[in-house]
Amino acid sequence: MPKEFLKIKKVCKNYENIEAVKEVNFTAKQGEIIALLGPNGAGKSTLMNMVAGYLSPTSGDIIVCGKDIRQFPLWGKENIGFLSEGAPLYADLSVRAFLNYMAELRGEKKSRVDEVMKIAKIEQVAEQKLETLSKGYQRRVGFAQSILGNPNVLLLDEPTDGLDPNQKKHIRALIKDMGEDKCIVISTHLLEEAENLCNRIVLLNKGRIVAEGTLAEILKKYKKSSLEDVFYSLTESKGE
């Protein structure tokens, strides 16, 4: 029986009069790769940042591997790996120095740095400063950082953004392999990534879940022939 690694219960996030996330509920188990899909401003990154512990929910509960991360924040950080949107911090550090620093923060051995660099195929740029790398290599460094602690829950915000087709293929294959024993949540704009990589889809619009299930379940429920058609029908503003 797969373990429940992530549970999001009635989570809301408000910024004054703006409701960025509105009563989001879903669970994710070991072995699941879930696509968080939605247009810009749907609340995907806000939800990711709350699960990662970077933002506090206005209300609701986030349970990671059986514990509420607001009550046990270190537990959450130990069990979560997070690839955030944008480039890694500390642009003046070399790739190796950055990963060594992140490994030290997590209590990991330096030998783990060599392992994740090999997994992400970034050994050839290990001594280069982060600021000198292409966007694709920066994303791969960020991906390496996210798996340093071999977490149970992996949050990937636009993991293939900026990658060329070969790099995308490599990262997607890695995600698929790791998804066998982890719970992976991917925020993406790419419909083909949700269709081909993920075994469940959570479609957000204006902070709410408007569709959830396997691709086949969603297509059947909304009587559409493609995910693209479902996406447009549930997220397109009337009158535009």
Total of domains in the chain: 1
Q: How high is the pLDDT of residue 26?
A: 94
pLDDT by residue for the chain (240 residues), tens only, comes to 788 999 999 999 999 889 999 999 999 999 999 999 999 889 999 999 999 999 999 999 999 999 999 999 999 999 999 998 876 678 899 999 999 999 999 999 989 999 999 999 999 999 999 999 998 899 999 999 999 999 999 999 989 888 889 989 999 999 999 888 999 999 988 899 999 899 999 999 999 999 999 999 999 999 999 999 999 999 986 444
Give a yes or no: residue 118 inside a domain: no
Instruction: Tell me the residue length of the chain.
Output: 240
- Pairing between β-strand 33-37 and β-strand 59-64 as defined by DSSP bridges: unpaired
β-strand partners of 186: 35, 156
- CATH number for position 43: 3.40.50.300
Give a yes or no: residue 47 inside a domain: yes
Q: How high is the pLDDT of residue 87?
A: 63
Angle, vertex CA 225, rays to CA 222 and CA 228, nearest 5? 85
Q: How high is the pLDDT of residue 239?
A: 41
Give a yes or no: residue 50 inside a domain: yes
What gap in Å lies between CA 160 and CA 171, rounded to an integer? 7
Q: How high is the pLDDT of residue 163?
A: 87
Tell me the pLDDT tens digit for each residue of 51-91: 999 999 999 999 999 999 999 999 999 999 999 887 667 88
Give a yes or no: residue 100 inside a domain: no
Task: Provide φ and ψ at 213, rounded to 5°.
Answer: 145, -175
Closest CA to 152 of 187, 123, 196, 185: 185
Q: What is the pTM of this model?
A: 0.92
Domain of 60 in residue numbering reads as: 4-83+152-235
Give a yes or no: residue 112 inside a domain: no
Helices (H) and strands (E) in the chain, counts: 9, 10
What torsion do the CA atoms of 20, 23, 24, 27 make, to the nearest 10 degrees?
Answer: 150
Give a yes or no: residue 91 inside a domain: no
Q: How high is the pLDDT of residue 190?
A: 87
Using only the alpha carbons of the chain, give its radius of gyration.
18
Give a yes or no: residue 62 inside a domain: yes
- Residue 153 is inside which H or E element, if any? strand 153-157
Which residue in the block uniquely carries the two structure tokens 């996406």? 231
Q: How high is the pLDDT of residue 17?
A: 87
Q: What is the DSSP letter of 185?
A: E
